[in-house]
Amino acid sequence: MSRLRRLLSTPEGMIGLAILIVLLLAGLSAPIISPGDPLRIAGRALLPPFTDPGFPLGTDRLGRDVLAGLIYGARTSLAVGLAAAFSAMILGVCVGMAAGFAGGIVDEALMRVVDAFQIMPGFLLALAFVSTIGVSTPVVVLAIALGAWADPARLTRAQVLAIREQDYVASARVIGMHPVEIAFREILPNALPPVLALSATIVAGAILTEAALSFLGLGNPNIATWGSMIAEGRSVLRSAAYLSVLPGAALAVTVLGVHLFSEGLGKVLGNDGGRAA
């Protein structure tokens, strides 16, 4: 049975994957569902949901289409979350591999750097970085990645320390295999599964961090984001609560989907690791 079939056989994996597929399809089809700029003024301001077929979810204070903001916000959240998680994973795996495989003073030096990044809360690091460098999507992605790479690095190091003592690694050394080849052919493939399971959690954290930065006005102002939509609805929360509730619900569902997918993926990879052992 393939990993995908085993993932779908778990309730968490099936529900989480279904949520993520719906969000991905909504984001990819955003230009078809709502052509044009989602930040443009499209109709009468503060139009309630389900009162106008042209604006199923209503409009905001400026007359912008809420549905357009939600589906374009899905693109932003998923793109930033995946890009930040990928960047954090690449950096973390590289540092963890170097520390675990080299050992000695290299290991000590790299782990002290990891400790320094783990001490500081990721959101505060991202907040300080964006405030200092400036607001743009690449800067936000880099800021989130800097706050998230330490956990993959520590987990990768722990996996490498355990795997490098295995018999097949010793055999590779005996036959004269180059250390770099041992690291990438023998150790890395076996160290990755637990780290990959962690990646879904990093995506969820990145989505929340991006939303928080946008809520504080530190997101890219030229694109639709759920955080900025929630912030926009604060001033009319009593009279038009849907402006904050709808993007807040979308954010919660997205994080729930990523979390459930992570749980299912962890079970699948854990079973693979158990059989391999």
pLDDT of residue 96: 92
Which distant-in-sequence residues (6+ apart) come within 8 Å of 217 by Cβ?
Answer: 228, 231
pLDDT of residue 222: 87
CB 131 within 8 A of CB 217: no
Give the side-chain half-sphere CA count within 13 A for 243. 23
pLDDT of residue 270: 64
Counting other chains too, the contacts that 235-238 makes at CB distance below 8 Å and 24 or more residues apart are 235/61, 236/46, 236/61
Q: Measured between alpha carbons, how far is 198 from 151 in angstroms, rounded to an integer?
A: 9
- The H or E element that residue 191 is part of is helix 188-215
Give how far the C-alpha of residue 124 lies from the chain's centroid of Cα atoms, to the nearest Å. Answer: 17
pLDDT of residue 142: 93
pLDDT of residue 167: 80
Q: Measured between alpha carbons, how far is 170 from 47 in angstroms, rounded to an integer?
A: 69
Kindly state the tokens that stand for 47: 């139009």
Determine the 3-state secondary structure of 65 from DSSP: strand
Averaged over successive runs of 10 residues, the pLDDT of the chain (277 residues) comes to 73 89 91 89 90 91 93 92 93 92 89 90 90 89 92 92 82 80 82 83 91 90 91 89 94 92 79 50
Query: Position of tokens 């990891």?
Result: 114
CB 206 within 8 A of CB 81: yes
Closest-CA residue to 150 (of 71, 206, 221, 89): 89
Which domains, ranges and CATH numbers included, belong to the chain? 15-276 (1.10.3720.10)
Region for 16 from its dihedrals, namely left if φ exceeds 0, alpha if ψ lies in -120 to 50, beta otherwise: alpha
